[in-house]
Structure 1
């Protein structure tokens, strides 16, 4: 009944508005009087919930009106569907679970409600492609496809991705809407790729010398093209590439701690720090955080995660380094068993997959620095979908956020592509 009521109102509004986003009354916003919000409905819901805001002096021009949902941590913009002088129709944005205030902005004036909208989320773990019992390299439908040991994933748009085999090295394209898995490159062993913001280009480097770099583009059907190499100056294994906000440089940190970058345009190689840490770690993954404008580097053998400045000169032990175990807590007290691949969400929170001894997904809150286990059962390997806290993973190796509430996970021992969805 609620959705029917909303649809009738929206239809009436759209018929009245015409092409100029005006209501039938064409009432203009009056800058000399305040904007008022009297109520909104419903008072709870999920992402894309249809919300009606009542008040006055909104005007009739939709382009002048913005709506934000606010909690203690974030403020996210809603999609405004329509507006007349007394009513705003909008869709709730993706938000953290809990209570949200609604802020309405009309031109330069804004007002925030005292009443809250209770936002709820639904979480689920599912197996997308592959079989936990049968390994191989078989293309075809998501059901029929088979994988070997997987160690890298790059999220594209429209629920698709590139995944990278460690064993029987290859690169595969996986598309959920097309129900297909296609091998786009054979004989190339790489870990986590770098994906540009528009998700139209992907970069990956060979794990071992000479660390050949390939580019995969949407226009080419994700077929590879060689663009350069890091060369023999980078001696240790490289398991990941990362793009910064300029998208001009590919950053890397090898297993020995050599941190540098490669210029995509002119192939210039710069070593920014010869050794960001003592010792070595054969498995180490690098990601860039646009929120913090820095890099994070997981060191599996050290059971922790480093934070590295963009120039490579400031390196701090960010989280863990308290021994081999899974223990939730704040940055200086938490423990990791085997931190592997990582990704960040829109707010800058970090997600880490744990391999042997863990088999779980961890989340590092960028606001308070608390590390929590959000999916999987500690040290129980296998394949079980459903509620994240009851789900089971089998050596999750890498994770990628597609920005649409989906986290794509590739497994080593499990040989599957899994999805952790937050809606």
Structure 2
């Protein structure tokens, strides 16, 4: 829907009006119906409720081309705090001067204010609300529950042994997925939503999570073991072929395992890595060098065999999970230039308690993480087989059931889904999630709005 189809969309324009009359034109034209003798105005919005990707129509009197128009759906992530207002801009498809046709963007559930801007003029009346209904589901994208063999092919035929790490990259039509099978099942695969196929990119190296740069057309991998830490690069322009950067991370600098890394939003030159002992470094991809960065603050006091680090553009910081500590850390550069690490969520022992992120929340072997464009942090509980969401100061369970492992999808409520030692989670450009299923032997897609 987002690219639009002029015929279908203008059928919608003709069918959806503020009157009770419906007329469908089989070969519609697009006349300019703007009345220059009247000021710009908004009469109504239809429908006044719906879900993501459905069409909507605004009726009124609008001057100019569609690219001069903007429609926003505004909502609060915290209704008691006006600073948390989020505006989601809708994709607009067409206008005829009397109607504007667009596609409903993803929002928070509830009645949200609609704003309409034409040129520099805001013309939406106060109290124009849209009731957004969230869509929730967990579905198997590819792989097969219980399978223990490799196979490329279309999504129905593809098979995995154990998907341990995952990331999203840019595709032709939307987003594609890079899946890594590690430990003793080494394989890097492209899961192409463009053509519904799984393609093996390589079967060498015990790699962690792909580190995707800001172009989303390039990613990096390195072995999590301490024996060989050569950073490898993969780019879309080279058909995702593996190449060596020549940069080797020395065991003497980072003796723990390295399972992940991240870029900030500033550029694609500096890649940041953290090992399972909280050693932190900055890699200069231009000069092919790296430097260690000293962290101060609340550092983990237990050695780990697996940890995870991501960067949140929303929070302007890194988050790191250490499963033996049962918690999530925040890593950031302070105003004096020093780098600090502090407790962010959990650290109340193993468990599934929800509530305030530091006072109440518990995790069971937290590992993979992903952060949406709205700042929602999602955390895989590898040992507990469930998924948490951290929003503001609150932690809740959004998928799976603590202590109930299994292999069950859910097309309605993700809390009815069951996972078997899930490993990692990634978010695409539309804030959909992909889950590395671990012992599920699958990659699943989760939509939780």
Assess same fold via TM > 0.5. yes
Distance 1:117 1:244 in 2: 35
Residues 64, 142 of structure 1: alpha-carbon distance in 2 compared, 3 angstrom cutoff = closer
The structure 2 residue matched to 1:285, chosen from 308, 311, 326, is 308
Distance 1:379 1:259 in 2: 33
Aligned to 2:437: 411
* Counterpart secondary structure, 1:71: strand
Q: Establish whether residue 151 from structure 1 lines up as the match of residue 164 from structure 2.
A: yes
Aligned to 2:201: 184
Which whole-Å deviations, capped at 9, do the CAs of 1:99-122 have from their partners, x for residues lacking one?
Answer: 111101122221443031111122
Q: Establish whether residue 257 from structure 1 lines up as the match of residue 270 from structure 2.
A: no
Aligned to 1:213: 231
State the 1:271 CA deviation: 1.4
- Indicate if the aligned counterparts of 1:297 and 1:306 stay in contact, CA closer than 8 A: yes
Aligned to 2:13: 6
Distance 1:144 1:90 in 2: 37
Residues 11, 193 of structure 1: alpha-carbon distance in 2 compared, 3 angstrom cutoff = farther
Aligned to 1:163: 179
Distance 1:27 1:213 in 2: 62
Number of matched residues?
410
Aligned to 2:21: none
- Of the structure 1 ranges 109-118 and 394-403, higher mean CA displacement relative to structure 2 is found in 109-118
Aligned to 1:89: 101
The structure 1 residue matched to 2:59, chosen from 41, 54, 60, is 54
Q: Establish whether residue 64 from structure 1 lines up as the match of residue 78 from structure 2.
A: no
* Counterpart secondary structure, 1:219: helix
Aligned to 2:262: 242
Instruction: Give the alignment of 1:34-53 within 5 angstroms.
Output: 35-53=40-58
The structure 2 residue matched to 1:355, chosen from 356, 359, 382, is 382
Q: Establish whether residue 321 from structure 1 lines up as the match of residue 333 from structure 2.
A: no
Distance 1:134 1:5 in 2: 45
State the 1:351 CA deviation: 0.7
Distance 2:95 2:312 in 1: 36
RMSD: 2.6
Which whole-Å deviations, capped at 9, do the CAs of 1:267-297 have from their partners, x for residues lacking one?
Answer: 1212122566142222110000111111000
4+ residue runs of structure 1 moved beyond 4 angstroms?
Answer: 1-5, 7-14, 24-28
State the 1:371 CA deviation: 0.8
Aligned to 1:20: none
* Counterpart secondary structure, 1:101: strand
- Indicate if the aligned counterparts of 1:298 and 1:304 stay in contact, CA closer than 8 A: yes
State the 1:124 CA deviation: 1.0
Residues 203, 14 of structure 1: alpha-carbon distance in 2 compared, 3 angstrom cutoff = farther
Residues 83, 355 of structure 1: alpha-carbon distance in 2 compared, 3 angstrom cutoff = same
Distance 2:372 2:338 in 1: 23
Q: Establish whether residue 223 from structure 1 lines up as the match of residue 263 from structure 2.
A: no
Aligned to 2:371: 344
The structure 1 residue matched to 2:149, chosen from 131, 136, 148, is 136
Residues 97, 312 of structure 1: alpha-carbon distance in 2 compared, 3 angstrom cutoff = farther
Unaligned runs of 5+ in 1: 18-22
Distance 1:114 1:12 in 2: 35
* Counterpart secondary structure, 1:240: strand
Residues 179, 91 of structure 1: alpha-carbon distance in 2 compared, 3 angstrom cutoff = closer
* Counterpart secondary structure, 2:13: helix
State the 1:50 CA deviation: 2.1
Which whole-Å deviations, capped at 9, do the CAs of 1:50-80 have from their partners, x for residues lacking one?
Answer: 2222334x31232221110011132100122
State the 1:262 CA deviation: 0.6
* Counterpart secondary structure, 1:215: strand
Distance 1:349 1:374 in 2: 12
* Counterpart secondary structure, 1:150: coil
